[in-house]
Amino acid sequence: MKTIIVFIITILMLTSMAYAAESMIWGNMLIGNILSYGTKDSLNMGPLFTILQSQYFRNIFLVIVIGVPAVFLMHYLVLGARFFSHDGKKVYVFSLFNRLIHLLAAISFLVLIPTGLMMIFGVYFGGGPLVMTARHLHGLATALFFLAVIPMFFFWVADMLPTVDDIKWIAIFGGYLSRKQSEVPAGKFNAGQKMWFWIATLGGIVMIATGAAMYFQDFNLGIASAFGLSQIDLLRASAIVHNIMALLITALFITHVYMSLFAVKGAINSMITGYKEEQELKYLHSSFYRKLKAQNKI
């Protein structure tokens, strides 16, 4: 307990020191920033951010939040959901700790993604206190996600490493393009889940880092200089990376929700109870199923 308190105090002191130091944006470097803005020798971060933010980001997000659900709606209407018998045996796949951490991450995502979109489309909400509150909630939910992402990364990373099954899975799009019930090559997690895992954990850490940079804004921890950037260019780069990463995460999050809630009926139960239907494992995670069979765990 004592070490934790000391740790927290040290962090607070370090951050306040970073704040107390001379401004990294509005100090003497201001002249250099002005003179280099948009010149040939500079990284052109300012104009690049301006173009991306003013002309591209909002439109691409619009395509994602309308297009991705539209594609899945078509899929649902044309090919329909997968059903697996819920009367058969069940296999225990997710421990209580797995499920609790996943729940924490899920709650944080359910706050992060809508509040993030509220900021991007802030003009349609009229701005002001409503969108400002969304921005503050976005920051608070980051703390929740931060607590979830590290344990989540470590307890699933071994199962998330790429295998030969993943290539086969991608080649047939996980079998989601046909109505036929056939055994899909996948381990405990299929290639789609693996993609989501890496984007959500490593990408999530990038989101936390870039988001924190934008949140704290004027700090001096030697991060910008380590990248050979000025503080303002670090912020611009952070905003660009944060938005591009957010596009990926939003698209895959919608996919993740569709798969667990709609595409495979009852798939979400395994993340609530910890038990997965044997039939579901047999068809959608065939390699994993065979491995469990061989080990006499079923």
Binding stretches for another protein (CB under 8 A): 25-28, 30-31, 33-34, 37-38, 46-47, 49-50, 53-54, 58, 119-123, 125-128, 131-132, 134-136, 139, 214-215, 217, 232, 235-236, 239
Which residue, 218 or 278, is less far from another protein as judged by CB?
Answer: 218
Rounded least distance, CB 199 to another protein, Å: 24
Rounded least distance, CB 44 to another protein, Å: 12
With both helix axes pointing from N to C terminus, report the angle between 96-120 and 128-156 in degrees, rounded to the nearest 10: 150
Which residue, 25 or 271, is less far from another protein as judged by CB?
Answer: 25
How, if at all, do strands 90-92 and 275-277 pair?
Answer: antiparallel
Q: Which residues contact 85 (CB under 8 A, 6 or more apart)?
A: 277, 279
Radius of gyration of the chain (CA): 23
Rounded least distance, CB 206 to another protein, Å: 18
Rounded least distance, CB 27 to another protein, Å: 8
Rounded least distance, CB 255 to another protein, Å: 25
Closest Cα to residue 195, out of 220, 227, 173?
Answer: 173
Asked whether the beta carbons of 213 and 238 are under 8 A apart, the reply is yes
Which residue, 27 or 114, is less far from another protein as judged by CB?
Answer: 27
Rounded least distance, CB 63 to another protein, Å: 17
Handedness of CA 82, 86, 90, 95 (dihedral sign): positive
Which residue, 120 or 184, is less far from another protein as judged by CB?
Answer: 120
Which residue, 99 or 135, is less far from another protein as judged by CB?
Answer: 135
Q: Which residues contact 71 (CB under 8 A, 6 or more apart)?
A: none
Distances (CA, A) of 52 to 25, 57, 65, 293: 22, 6, 18, 52
Which residue, 215 or 262, is less far from another protein as judged by CB?
Answer: 215
